[in-house]
Structures are given as C-alpha cells and as structure tokens.
Amino acid sequence: MDNRNIILKAENITVGYGEKDILHGASMEVRKNEIVAIIGPNGAGKSTLLKTIFGLLKPSRGTIFLEHENITGLSPDAIARKGISYVPQVDNIFPSLTVKENLEMGGFIRKEQTAERISEIFRLFPVLEEKKHQRAKELSGGQRQMVAMGRALMLDPDILMLDEPSAGLAPKFVSMIFEKICEINAKGVSIILVEQNAREALTMAHTGYIFVTGKNVLHGIGKELLENPEIGQLYLGG
C-alpha cells in the first residue's frame, strides 16, 4: 500500500488495564485525508487502541507517531492540542449543559475562535442551532451524537477518532451520521472510525482494519475487504 502521507502511526502497541494486556503488538496507520475503519468482534481491543492513541492508557511497548513526532505517553490534553480529537463511545457529552455550552466546553483550549467554530458546527449540523439552548439530555440519540462530534470538532482537529458513533441509533440516524462523517472528511479531516456496522463502515472507508483478540489481523482497501468472501463470512454476517 501507498506509504506516503502517513500522518499517524501506531506501531506494535502492547497495552492493557493493570496487569492484563489487551492489545498484543497492534499496529495501524492513517494517511492524510483518509477514513480508516476499524472493525472486529466485541472485546477485540478497538476502544483500547483509541484510548491509547489519545493518551488515556500508556502502552508498555510500542510507539505512536503523529507526523514524525513520537507522542507516546503524552497527556490527552497535549495530544488534543496537537490536533487529535476523540469521541468516546459513552459519556461523550455533558447531559445537563445546553448544546451551546457543550460546544463551548469543547473549545476551551482555543477560546479566541469559539464563536467562529460554533457557527461552523451549526452549518454542519443545522439541527443543533435550532436546539442550542436545550439541555443535551433532552435530545434524541442521533442529536446527542452530533453534539459529541461537534464538541470534538471545536478544536479544528487534523484527525477525528470516533468510537462506534452509530451504536444504538435508529437506521435513519445511522445513515445521517455516516453522511456527516464523509462531509467532515471532505473538509480535510482524517477519520479513525471504530464501528459495529462493519458493512457500512467498510463501504465508506478508504482503508479498513480488522482487529481480533488484541491484534490487527488484516487490513486493506475498504471495498476490497468487503468483497473478500472469507471476511464476509467471519465478520460481516455472511
């Protein structure tokens, strides 16, 4: 595969919680402007990889490079300032704050541009402007996911990491969230997308990675992985 324009590289990552390793030498690369989908069974370590890239877990082995800088072990705050945003699967909004307050919280380290960024996010998610004074907990699941993505975009990231953004959403919202991800990507943001909706994710992604029991077992062009009959049977429900 084309090795130019790699902006993020996780190499041979071993990490876990306490004594127990969950990732065993996992690797992944992201090129500029691409959507990378990470799929695989529950418990494979997909969320653990995102947490490690964002500095929430410190790997015992392996290195994470952003461009050519080794960012392994930096704090989440430092990593956010370097241009990586992360939307965790759960607890990704402040339920009691309004939509607008949630977005303001997302922009806390770049205060001077807050108003401008909020306008841009309202252009991407017009429904959030209509509801800007409502508390986030009063919104639908799909709208709460938009708030979470909007918050992550407040820092104008180069890379956006999304952990199962379509989980639990009605089909209509699933396709809407996927369309928004493509729109964000078209503005020049690289995306790392962890998904249970594997078929949809691989259709949309430039590159797909399949994770099984703490390792990347296969990667390739998203659509080619989809057409691979073995993968279809094992991971896409036939």
Binding residues vs ligand ADP (CB under 6 A): 17, 22, 42-48
Q: What minimum distance in Å lies between the beta carbon of 27 and Mg ion?
A: 18
SS3 32: coil
Residue 92 engages Mg ion in binding (rule: CB under 5 A):
no
Q: What minimum distance in Å lies between the beta carbon of 163 and Mg ion?
A: 6
Q: What minimum distance in Å lies between the beta carbon of 169 and ligand ADP?
A: 17
Binding range to Mg ion, per CB under 5 A, among 19-27, 42-50, 115-123, 184-192: 42-50
Residue 42 near which of ligand ADP, Mg ion, none (CB within 5-8 Å, type-dependent)? ligand ADP
Runs of H (alpha helix) within 93-228: 99-106, 114-124, 126-130, 141-153, 171-186, 198-204, 222-227
Distance CA 71, CA 35 (A): 21
β pairing state of 6-17 and 61-66 = antiparallel
Binding range to Mg ion, per CB under 5 A, among 46-54, 59-67, 101-109, 121-129: 46-54
Q: What minimum distance in Å lies between the beta carbon of 36 and ligand ADP?
A: 15
Q: What minimum distance in Å lies between the beta carbon of 8 and ligand ADP?
A: 18
- C-beta nearest to Mg ion: residue: 47
> At residue 186, what is the residue type?
A
Binding range to Mg ion, per CB under 5 A, among 5-13, 39-47, 71-79, 97-105: 39-47
Residue 3 near which of Mg ion, ligand ADP, none (CB within 5-8 Å, type-dependent)? none
Task: Give CA separation, 221 vs 6, 74, 111, 115, 228, in Å.
Answer: 15, 31, 39, 38, 11
Distance CA 101, CA 126 (A): 16
Residue 54's DSSP bridge partners are none
